[in-house]
Amino acid sequence: MDKSKVPVEQRQAIGLLMDDHRAVKKLFKQFEAASGLAEKRSIAQETCQQLTVHAQIEEEIFYPALRGASDKLDDMLDEAKVEHGVAKDLIAAIEQDDAEMLEANYKVLTEYVGHHVEEEEGELFPAVIKAKIDLRDVATQLESRKMELLGQPA
Protein backbone atom coordinates (compact mmCIF):
# COMPACT_ATOMS: atom_id res chain seq x y z
CA MET A 1 0.00 0.00 0.00
CA ASP A 2 1.33 3.43 -1.00
CA LYS A 3 0.95 6.03 1.74
CA SER A 4 1.06 8.96 -0.67
CA LYS A 5 -2.11 7.68 -2.38
CA VAL A 6 -4.12 7.72 0.84
CA PRO A 7 -6.61 10.64 0.89
CA VAL A 8 -5.64 13.45 3.23
CA GLU A 9 -8.49 12.74 5.71
CA GLN A 10 -7.01 9.31 6.40
CA ARG A 11 -3.36 9.73 5.58
CA GLN A 12 -1.99 10.61 9.01
CA ALA A 13 -3.81 7.83 10.86
CA ILE A 14 -3.19 5.12 8.28
CA GLY A 15 0.37 6.37 7.80
CA LEU A 16 1.10 6.04 11.50
CA LEU A 17 -0.21 2.47 11.59
CA MET A 18 1.73 1.59 8.44
CA ASP A 19 4.92 3.01 9.95
CA ASP A 20 4.36 0.78 12.98
CA HIS A 21 3.93 -2.21 10.66
CA ARG A 22 7.21 -1.35 8.89
CA ALA A 23 9.06 -0.97 12.19
CA VAL A 24 7.92 -4.40 13.37
CA LYS A 25 8.81 -6.04 10.06
CA LYS A 26 12.28 -4.55 10.43
CA LEU A 27 12.58 -6.20 13.84
CA PHE A 28 11.48 -9.53 12.33
CA LYS A 29 14.36 -9.26 9.85
CA GLN A 30 16.81 -8.26 12.58
CA PHE A 31 15.81 -11.28 14.62
CA GLU A 32 16.38 -13.56 11.67
CA ALA A 33 19.85 -12.07 11.11
CA ALA A 34 20.82 -12.11 14.80
CA SER A 35 23.10 -14.90 15.95
CA GLY A 36 23.35 -14.86 19.72
CA LEU A 37 20.59 -15.63 22.20
CA ALA A 38 21.09 -12.34 24.08
CA GLU A 39 20.59 -10.35 20.90
CA LYS A 40 17.57 -12.39 19.88
CA ARG A 41 16.06 -11.95 23.32
CA SER A 42 16.40 -8.21 23.24
CA ILE A 43 14.95 -7.97 19.72
CA ALA A 44 12.08 -10.22 20.81
CA GLN A 45 11.40 -7.98 23.80
CA GLU A 46 11.38 -4.87 21.63
CA THR A 47 9.03 -6.58 19.16
CA CYS A 48 6.60 -7.53 21.92
CA GLN A 49 6.56 -4.00 23.32
CA GLN A 50 5.97 -2.39 19.92
CA LEU A 51 3.27 -4.87 18.97
CA THR A 52 1.50 -4.52 22.29
CA VAL A 53 1.34 -0.73 21.99
CA HIS A 54 0.27 -0.96 18.34
CA ALA A 55 -2.51 -3.45 19.08
CA GLN A 56 -3.67 -1.36 22.02
CA ILE A 57 -4.00 1.91 20.07
CA GLU A 58 -5.81 0.07 17.29
CA GLU A 59 -8.21 -1.51 19.77
CA GLU A 60 -8.76 1.59 21.87
CA ILE A 61 -8.94 4.22 19.14
CA PHE A 62 -8.69 3.04 15.52
CA TYR A 63 -11.06 0.08 15.37
CA PRO A 64 -13.84 1.79 17.41
CA ALA A 65 -13.69 4.79 15.03
CA LEU A 66 -14.52 2.42 12.14
CA ARG A 67 -17.34 0.54 13.86
CA GLY A 68 -20.74 0.77 12.22
CA ALA A 69 -19.50 2.27 8.94
CA SER A 70 -20.54 -0.87 7.03
CA ASP A 71 -21.30 -4.55 7.64
CA LYS A 72 -18.19 -5.47 5.70
CA LEU A 73 -16.01 -3.30 7.92
CA ASP A 74 -17.62 -4.67 11.06
CA ASP A 75 -16.87 -8.23 9.90
CA MET A 76 -13.24 -7.27 9.30
CA LEU A 77 -13.02 -5.68 12.73
CA ASP A 78 -14.39 -8.82 14.37
CA GLU A 79 -11.74 -10.85 12.57
CA ALA A 80 -9.02 -8.38 13.55
CA LYS A 81 -10.07 -8.68 17.18
CA VAL A 82 -9.68 -12.46 17.07
CA GLU A 83 -6.31 -12.11 15.34
CA HIS A 84 -5.10 -9.67 17.99
CA GLY A 85 -6.11 -12.22 20.62
CA VAL A 86 -3.96 -14.91 19.01
CA ALA A 87 -1.03 -12.49 18.62
CA LYS A 88 -1.31 -11.59 22.31
CA ASP A 89 -1.07 -15.26 23.28
CA LEU A 90 2.11 -15.56 21.22
CA ILE A 91 3.49 -12.37 22.78
CA ALA A 92 2.70 -13.73 26.24
CA ALA A 93 4.53 -16.96 25.36
CA ILE A 94 7.60 -15.00 24.21
CA GLU A 95 7.52 -12.87 27.35
CA GLN A 96 7.74 -16.06 29.42
CA ASP A 97 11.35 -15.94 28.27
CA ASP A 98 11.68 -19.65 27.57
CA ALA A 99 14.95 -19.73 25.63
CA GLU A 100 14.22 -23.18 24.16
CA MET A 101 10.95 -22.02 22.64
CA LEU A 102 12.01 -18.52 21.59
CA GLU A 103 12.79 -19.41 17.96
CA ALA A 104 9.56 -21.30 17.46
CA ASN A 105 7.37 -18.74 19.20
CA TYR A 106 8.99 -15.86 17.37
CA LYS A 107 8.71 -17.58 14.00
CA VAL A 108 5.00 -18.19 14.44
CA LEU A 109 4.54 -14.60 15.63
CA THR A 110 6.34 -13.36 12.50
CA GLU A 111 4.11 -15.39 10.21
CA TYR A 112 0.97 -14.57 12.08
CA VAL A 113 1.54 -10.83 12.35
CA GLY A 114 2.65 -10.80 8.70
CA HIS A 115 -0.73 -12.22 7.74
CA HIS A 116 -2.63 -9.76 9.94
CA VAL A 117 -0.71 -6.77 8.54
CA GLU A 118 -1.45 -7.97 4.98
CA GLU A 119 -5.14 -8.06 5.78
CA GLU A 120 -5.09 -4.61 7.35
CA GLU A 121 -3.18 -3.01 4.51
CA GLY A 122 -4.79 -5.06 1.75
CA GLU A 123 -8.43 -5.11 2.90
CA LEU A 124 -9.17 -3.04 5.98
CA PHE A 125 -7.41 0.21 5.04
CA PRO A 126 -8.78 0.22 1.48
CA ALA A 127 -12.29 -0.31 2.90
CA VAL A 128 -11.75 2.62 5.29
CA ILE A 129 -10.66 4.80 2.37
CA LYS A 130 -13.66 3.68 0.33
CA ALA A 131 -16.02 4.50 3.20
CA LYS A 132 -14.47 7.99 3.35
CA ILE A 133 -14.14 7.92 7.12
CA ASP A 134 -12.56 11.14 8.39
CA LEU A 135 -9.68 10.07 10.59
CA ARG A 136 -8.01 13.40 11.30
CA ASP A 137 -8.99 13.51 15.00
CA VAL A 138 -8.28 9.80 15.27
CA ALA A 139 -4.73 10.41 14.03
CA THR A 140 -4.06 12.90 16.83
CA GLN A 141 -5.48 10.49 19.40
CA LEU A 142 -3.42 7.58 18.05
CA GLU A 143 -0.27 9.66 18.24
CA SER A 144 -0.71 10.92 21.77
CA ARG A 145 -1.85 7.55 23.13
CA LYS A 146 1.13 5.86 21.51
CA MET A 147 3.53 8.35 23.11
CA GLU A 148 1.80 7.89 26.45
CA LEU A 149 2.06 4.09 26.30
CA LEU A 150 5.70 4.26 25.30
CA GLY A 151 6.32 6.53 28.27
CA GLN A 152 7.35 9.51 26.17
CA PRO A 153 5.89 13.00 26.50
CA ALA A 154 3.35 13.74 23.75
Among 58, 76, 125, 128, binds Fe ion (CB under 5 A): 58
- Closest contact distance (angstroms) between CB of 36 and Fe ion is 30
What span, in angstroms and rounded, lies between the C-alpha atoms of 126 and 95? 33
Question: CA 27, 31, 37, 41 torsion: positive or negative?
Answer: positive
Subset of residues 83 to 122 that bind Fe ion, contact rule: CB under 5 A: 120
What span, in angstroms and rounded, lies between the C-alpha atoms of 141 and 147? 10
Q: Which stretch binds Fe ion (CB under 5 A): 5-13, 27-35, 58-66, 138-146?
A: 58-66
Our finding on whether 14 is near Fe ion (CB under 5 A) is: no
Residue 87 vs 102, nearer CB to Fe ion: 87
DSSP class of 36: S
Which residue type does 18 have?
Answer: M
- Closest contact distance (angstroms) between CB of 63 and Fe ion is 8
